[in-house]
Amino acid sequence: MSGVLLEEVTKRYGEVVGVRDLGLEVREGEFLTLLGPSGCGKTTTLRLIAGFLHPEQGRILVGGRDVTALPPQQRGIGMVFQDYVLFPHLTVEENIGFGLRERGAPRDEIRRRVREMLELVRLPEIGGRLPRELSGGQQQRVALARAVAYAPRLLLMDEPLGALDLKLREAMQIELHRIQRALGMTTIYVTHDQEEAFSLSDRIAVLEGGRLIQVGTPRELYRAPRNQFVAHFVGKINFLRGTVLDGVGPVASVKLEDGHQIRVRAPGPLRPGASVCVAVRPEALRVWAGAPEPQPEAVPGLNRLDGVLERVRYAGNFTHLFIRITENCTLLAEVGGERAELHTGEPVRAGWAPEDTLLWQEGDAS
């Protein structure tokens, strides 16, 4: 078991940037997820760590040892690929035992360990079958068993659940979590699915365009996204644009494009007149029917915007409300249960607390 350290790693494919100046630390025993849209460099990062690719710049350390120049055979890293990539001509047992055999483990040892792995992934009965005789979910488990059978220092998984359907994917997430905890192996996981990342990870690294944008626990990313990209990628969010009126003190006031004035928790002192982007999560919004009646004043200090309820999407345990504020501004609110008193086409008022507002200065990436 061991941690991983990437130091300013850069990899280009000709003109195309795979990853650029990527610095990242993965702690021992940690489950870290690389999250980002397709093409952001997740696979490239994994393949650099696995040793299938070599960086033009930077160093890669596994367990404190510089492995940048080592071939994959000597890195002691297990890899699970998106569409399994099992050896089609070998049985499940032979697939799982492959790494042990290559490392010269004695026969009995291999047999015992393969049994153990099959138990671990809960497929004790299928050792003699060929990969093509298995379902997708079974193949994925075998791929995982193969990768961890020889107890590598580090486990890499590239969208391992991407090819499975939703129900199976959820079941497999639970399995993966259980297995990773049971083995205690440092794991780097790749997905473009934010929910999957949240349900599995100790920490998440968000990538965009080959660069690392932010690393943190799911909670940190959700509560304090470093920029609009992260905020948007991690959960749903409403963006509003405006200029600073008063930026001194912990709560700034901002004038929105449509003229409304709101109060925002400020990350630091703000220059009056600066353009800013503010954002509020849908579940932070409270919604009242019958604006402009002044009920929200009952909760002092709340920001409020009036609009028309455009659409209601009932989802069982919550309801999504789409509130049209102006021509080009619609807010999404997520409220619990059913809100029978709200009707589409009627005026509503949305309110939220200044502490629930996020703020970034425009033209400032960090």
Partner 1 sequence: MTTRRRWGLAAVVVAIYAFLLAPFVVLALSSLSGGEAYYISFPPRGLSTRWYLAIPASYLRSFAVSVAIGVASALAAGLLGVAAALGIVRGRYRRKELLKAFFRAPLQIPLVVSGVVFLQFYYVLFGLTGVRLLESFTGLLLAHVFISLPFVVGTVCAVLEKFDRRLEEAAYSLGASRWTTFRRVTLPVIRPGVFAGMLYAFIVSFGNVPVSLFLVGPRLTTLPVDLFYSMEYDFNPSILALSTLVVVFSVLTILLLQRLMGMDVLVRAGAKE
Ligand X SMILES: Nc1ncnc2c1ncn2[C@@H]1O[C@H](COP(=O)(O)OP(=O)(O)O)[C@@H](O)[C@H]1O
Q: Which residues bind partner 1 (CB under 8 A)?
A: 50-52, 71-73, 75, 77-79, 81, 85, 87-89, 98-99, 102-103, 131-132, 146-147, 150
Q: How far is the CB of 76 from partner 1 (least distance, A)?
A: 8
Dihedral angle of Cα 312, 284, 35, 194, to the nearest 10 degrees: -40
CA dist 299 and 224 (Å) reads: 25
Residues near 264 by Cβ (< 8 Å), separated by ≥ 6? Answer: 251, 252, 253, 254, 278, 354, 357, 359
Q: Which of 41, 218, 225, 242 binds ligand X (CB under 6 A)?
A: 41
38 contributes a contact to ligand X by CB under 6 A: yes
Q: How far is the CB of 34 from ligand X (least distance, A)?
A: 8
201 binds, among partner 1, Mg ion, ligand X, none (CB under 5 to 8 A by kind): none
Amino acid identity, position 104: G
Q: How far is the CB of 200 from partner 1 (least distance, A)?
A: 21
Q: Are 302 and 351 contacting, i.e. CB atoms less than 8 angstroms apart?
A: yes
18 binds, among ligand X, Mg ion, partner 1, none (CB under 5 to 8 A by kind): ligand X
- Using the minimum distance from each CB to ligand X, give the nearer residue, 13 or 328: 13
- Using the minimum distance from each CB to ligand X, give the nearer residue, 36 or 242: 36
**Cα torsion 50, 54, 56, 61: sign:** positive
Q: How far is the CB of 189 from ligand X (least distance, A)?
A: 12
Q: How far is the CB of 50 from ligand X (least distance, A)?
A: 12
What string marks each residue from 248 to 287 as x (binds ligand X by CB under 6 A) or -? ----------------------------------------
Helix, strand or coil for residue 348? strand
54 contributes a contact to ligand X by CB under 6 A: no
| Ordered alpha helix ranges (H), 32-162 | 42-50, 92-102, 107-120, 136-148
CA dist 231 and 246 (Å) reads: 24
| β pairing state of 31-35 and 203-208 | parallel
24: its two tokens: 């990242």
39 binds, among partner 1, Mg ion, ligand X, none (CB under 5 to 8 A by kind): ligand X
Q: Which of 4, 5, 40, 291 binds ligand X (CB under 6 A)?
A: 40
Q: Are 7 and 58 contacting, i.e. CB atoms less than 8 angstroms apart?
A: yes
Q: Are 182 and 151 contacting, i.e. CB atoms less than 8 angstroms apart?
A: no
Q: How far is the CB of 233 from ligand X (least distance, A)?
A: 13
191 contributes a contact to ligand X by CB under 6 A: no
> What is the contact surface with ligand X in residues (CB under 6 A)?
13, 16, 18, 36, 38-44
